[in-house]
Amino acid sequence: AQSVTQLGSHVSVSEGALVLLRCNYSSSVPPYLFWYVQYPNQGLQLLLKYTTGATLVKGINGFEAEFKKSETSFHLTKPSAHMSDAAEYFCAVGGTGFQKLVFGTGTRLLVSP
């Protein structure tokens, strides 16, 4: 069985500040890990994914995440927040086979000027 826990339903940062969104996973098989972003009234857009290989993954819009197996974590970071980053962020875990994804409950990122 697989599960995802996102710590903090809301995260508030100032424009230009570091963004850190936390994700911990549980998986009985080597996990594939994903971060998706959802803007209001829109679908999910893939930010980045970890499958195998390098544990530091770079994504779109300046985001990156690091897979830490020992901590079962896949936290999302961005050095400097922009107003346009305000959205809902979802962490998801998948495994082998057809990639049924299990999502966390999401973290809403609020960016203030």
Partner 1 sequence: GAGVSQSPRYKVAKRGQDVALRCDPISGHVSLFWYQQALGQGPEFLTYFQNEAQLDKSGLPSDRFFAERPEGSVSTLKIQRTQQEDSAVYLCASSLRTRQGTSSGNTIYFGEGSWLTVV
The strand ranges marked E within the chain are 2-7, 10-14, 19-27, 32-38, 44-50, 56-58, 64-68, 73-78, 87-94, 102-103, 107-112
* Residue among 17 and 108 whose Cβ is closer to partner 1: 108
Shortest distance in whole angstroms from residue 67 CB to partner 1: 13
What minimum distance in Å lies between the beta carbon of 78 and partner 1? Answer: 20
At its nearest, how many Å lie between partner 1 and the CB of residue 6? 8
d(CA 87, CA 66) in angstroms, rounded, equals: 21
Residue 91 to residues 5, 21, 24, 110: CA-CA distances in angstroms?
A: 8, 9, 9, 17
Instruction: Point out which residues bind partner 1 (CB under 8 A).
Output: 4, 30, 32, 36, 41-46, 49, 51-52, 90, 92, 95-106
74 vs 90 by CB, closer to partner 1: 90
Nearer to partner 1, 52 or 70 (CB): 52
